[in-house]
Amino acid sequence: MKHSRRAFLEAGLALPAVINSVPGLAGAWQPITAPSQDSSFDPWVEIHRENLRHNVAEISRRVSSRPILAVVKNNGYGMGVANVAQLLEPQPEIFGFAVVKLHEAFSLRDAGTRKPILLLGPFDEQNLSDAVARDILPMVYTRLGPVPDKIAAKMQKPVSLHICIDTGIGRVGVPYHQAAPLVRDLAARKSVRIAGTMMTFTEDPDFDKEQLRRFSETCSVFEKEGITLGKKHAASSFSLFQHPEAFLDMVRPGMAIYGIYSENEFRHTNILDLRPAISLKARVIYAKKLRKGDSAGYNRAYIAKDDVWVATIPVGHADGWPRTAAKGAKVRINGDLYPVIASVSASHCIVEVGPEEKVKIGDVATFFDAQPSSRPEDVSESCSASVYDLTMHLNPLLPRRIV
Ligand SMILES: Cc1ncc(COP(=O)(O)O)c(C=O)c1O
């Protein structure tokens, strides 16, 4: 498209038009001195330092001060892996961190994390060598043969690792009934230090008990042989509520640290007081009155039954806000909750404000936060979105602000 002077003038005029309609910004129009990166209307993610601290203290109380291996995988459950680790590291209850991607482990070390880092994800020989060089512990479930010997000789230190035993989840982990050759091989190598042994529950409450029995029996066979298995761990957030007998030597939660109940039924127990440490916010970019019969959204997903005010917010499924939000989720603006209507498109959603003009351009819209009725679990319940998707699917490019 050719840029005419006319088009330039129109574009230039549009910005003050928005600014003048934003309370607090009207009249504050200053010449721009530094180039903008993000629009101040764009969505952002807030990470609540104090709530994280509170949740860790709660978990520690629940597990009688056992060490906590904080799962910070998938970009720190949406909060930014380095942000979360940086906030958690000073807490004495936190033993270390678990990630799935090698690059997350490296970025934690680059950000200055000194506590142990367990890599739950896959690696090749070169990856392992690079990980050991940076004191990152691999989770192992296949025979490594002489690889640790070579790496230990090169690094002049043993390869510390955790063994993963599959007791019924069927994904990674050596099957418990075939674990002996692997465990004995690792234990026999001077180049290896078994720092931990772990399993993952299926979170089927009855079968979990059988899984724990399999794990305990398997471990005790090796321990009777004199093999040191390091810290034994199994409990994710689910087990913090369901299986105190599975706390073992260390617990391994993710979601609970971030203050979110992984199952809605846990909210109605007094087992843990969790406070969400994550919020998603943006500012309203447009508010207008639809006339009775006017439509909104692709495919005219919404038809106004009466004259009604609606507001558009620049948050869509590309930002991580689920499409299903249009089927019952609410957004809080100026203290009131408004239903998401029509459809969630890639970069926008629309809320129904009602017969009065109660929302203006620039008002802050909260998608979820720590307040009752706008917690992530409320959104999840209202539109059948998993709380894990709500946080982990947040676009990593959104700005994160620690508050
Ligand atoms: C192996 C493993 N342990 C622990 C966790 C933490 O789970 P949660 O966030 O439910 O506490 C996860 C997360 O999925 C995991 O994959």
Q: Which residue is closest in CA terms to ligand 1's atom 8?
A: 254
Which residues does 245 contact at the CB level (< 8 Å), separation at least 6?
212
User: What's 291's DSSP letter?
Assistant: P
**Is residue 314 lining ligand 1, measured as CB closer than 6 Å?**
no
What is the value of pTM for the model shown?
A: 0.91
> Which of 71, 242, 389 for mutating ligand 1's site (highest number of atoms within 8 Å of CB)?
71
Q: What is the pLDDT of residue 13?
A: 34
**Is residue 254 lining ligand 1, measured as CB closer than 6 Å?**
yes
Residue 388 Cα: closest atom of ligand 1:
9
CA 378 to ligand 1 centroid distance, Å: 21
**Is residue 237 lining ligand 1, measured as CB closer than 6 Å?**
yes
286 sits in which H/E element: strand 286-290
Distance (Å) of CA 400 to CA 138, 274, 322? 29, 21, 19
**Is residue 242 lining ligand 1, measured as CB closer than 6 Å?**
no
Q: What is the pLDDT of residue 20?
A: 41
> Which of 200, 208, 248, 274 for mutating ligand 1's site (highest number of atoms within 8 Å of CB)?
200
> Which of 236, 255, 386 for mutating ligand 1's site (highest number of atoms within 8 Å of CB)?
236
User: What's 78's DSSP letter?
Assistant: T
Q: What is the pLDDT of residue 32?
A: 55
Neighbours of 45 (CB within 10 A): 24
Q: What is the pLDDT of residue 285?
A: 98
CA 131 to ligand 1 centroid distance, Å: 21
Q: What is the pLDDT of residue 33?
A: 67
Q: What is the pLDDT of residue 27?
A: 40
* 3-state secondary structure (DSSP) of residue 270: coil
147-155 vs 125-133: helix axis angle to the nearest 10?
30
Q: What is the pLDDT of residue 312?
A: 98
**Is residue 99 lining ligand 1, measured as CB closer than 6 Å?**
no
What is the chain's length? Answer: 403
Name the pairing type of β-strands 308-313 and 44-47. Answer: unpaired
Q: Which residue is closest in CA terms to ligand 1's atom 14?
A: 254
Closest to 345 (Cα-Cα) out of 365, 303, 366, 315 = 315
Q: Write the pLDDT tens digit of every residue in 334-376.
A: 999 999 999 999 999 999 999 999 999 999 999 999 999 999 9
* 3-state secondary structure (DSSP) of residue 132: helix
Q: What is the pLDDT of residue 24?
A: 41
- Contact predicate 166/218, CB 8 Å: no
Amino acid at 33: T
Spans in the chain with pLDDT lower than 50: 1-29
CA 108 to ligand 1 centroid distance, Å: 18
CA 71 to ligand 1 centroid distance, Å: 6
Pull the structure tokens for residue 214: 């399999």
Distance (Å) of CA 258 to CA 43, 72, 136, 237, 275? 20, 10, 23, 10, 8
d(CA 314, CA 39): 10
Q: Write the pLDDT tens digit of every residue in 242-254.
A: 999 999 999 999 9
Q: Which residue is closest in CA terms to ligand 1's atom 1?
A: 200
Q: Which residue is closest in CA terms to ligand 1's atom 4?
A: 236
**Is residue 71 lining ligand 1, measured as CB closer than 6 Å?**
yes
